Amino acid sequence: MAAITLQNIVKKYDDGFPAVNDVSIDIEDGEFIILVGPSGCGKSTLLRMIVGLEDITSGELKIDGKRVNELAPRDRNLAMVFQNYALYPHLTVFENIAFPLRLNKAKFSEEEIKKLVTDAAKRLELTDHLDRKPGNLSGGQRQRVAMGRAIVRQADAFLFDEPLSNLDAKLRGQMRSEISQMQRRLGITSVYVTHDQTEAMTLGDRVAVLKKGVLQQIASPRELYEQP
Ligand code: ADP
Ligand code: ADP
């Protein structure tokens, strides 16, 4: 787990217009932050800068107080959960979840990998599907495989990019409570991008509202709800 600090973060793409404009947020260790706002407000850009997939034009990004602006994604120990799952179609569910552990071969024995993957699968109700391939899974199951991969990595923080946007309403509700329970149990620092108000108001410790790249407000769901 880690604290993530954004100080006066700016992102300008080639057209020079700031997609993210002077955003400062202190994300506490173990906190679940929602980034919400309409399409084009800069949510994904902000997330991609945190994970290191996009350069920061100016400002400081710190993880546990240490500046990481120039660190490669692999050196930030953050796990990203995408809406398109990014699963390997030729690998089984087990191997998809185990994948980040195998990249760390020096650290994990086969036995440890088996235990970590089995435990994650149990928590995500994927035990019966470990031998299947992603192509044979439903959208919700694929989503859970993607979450399993983030869980086994024991990352310092989870970054979610609209992870539920491809699911139908029922599954979305299920996954929402699953994510919320997981967050309560694990207390992993999370940054969660969505344009869905319900997700914003039910999942987060705090909600950061972006508009045209500018941070409009940041408050707990209760505080936002009670505002006129
Ligand atoms: P959101 O995730 O809230 O929909 P984005 O972060 O994707 O918003 O986009 C914010 C702004 O930056 C938009 O105006 C978008 O057109 C622009 N933008 C995003 N990605 C690029 C890019 N690779 N090159 C140029 N402009 C981009
Ligand atoms: P590969 O995934 O084939 O090793 P990449 O260049 O895609 O090569 O990624 C290198 C490392 O960077 C990955 O092992 C991973 O730790 C990290 N990484 C890449 N993309 C992401 C992402 N979206 N979220 C978190 N970490 C990432």
- Residue 91: CB partners within 8 Å, gap ≥ 6? 99, 133, 134
* Ligand 2 pocket check for 51: Cβ under 6 Å: yes
Query: Ligand 2 centre from 78 Cα, in Å?
Result: 10
* pLDDT given at position 225: 84
Q: What secondary structure letter does DSSP report for 166? A: T
Task: Please check the confidence at residue 183 and state whether its pLDDT lies above 90.
Answer: no
Q: Torsion over CA of 147, 150, 154 and 159, rounded to 10 degrees?
A: -100
Nearest-CA residue for atom 8 of ligand 2: 74
Identify any residues that bridge with 180 across adjacent strands, giving them in sequence order. none
The 10s digit of each residue's pLDDT in 59-69 is 999 999 999 99
Please state, in angstroms and rounded to a whole number, the distance separating the CA atoms of residues 151 and 139. Answer: 18
71 CA distance to ligand 2 centroid (A)?
A: 12
pTM, entire model: 0.79
Centre of ligand 1 from the C-alpha of residue 55, in Å: 13
Q: What is the pLDDT of residues 47-100, one digit of tens each?
A: 999 999 999 999 999 999 999 999 998 889 898 877 666 899 999 999 999 998
How close is the Cα of 167 to the center of ligand 2, in Å? 25
Return the ligand number nearest the Cα of 37.
1
SS3 184: helix
* Spacing, Cα 55 to ligand 2 middle (Å): 15
> Which atom, in ligand 1's list, is nearest to the CA of 45?
6
Atom 26, ligand 1: residue with shortest CA distance: 13
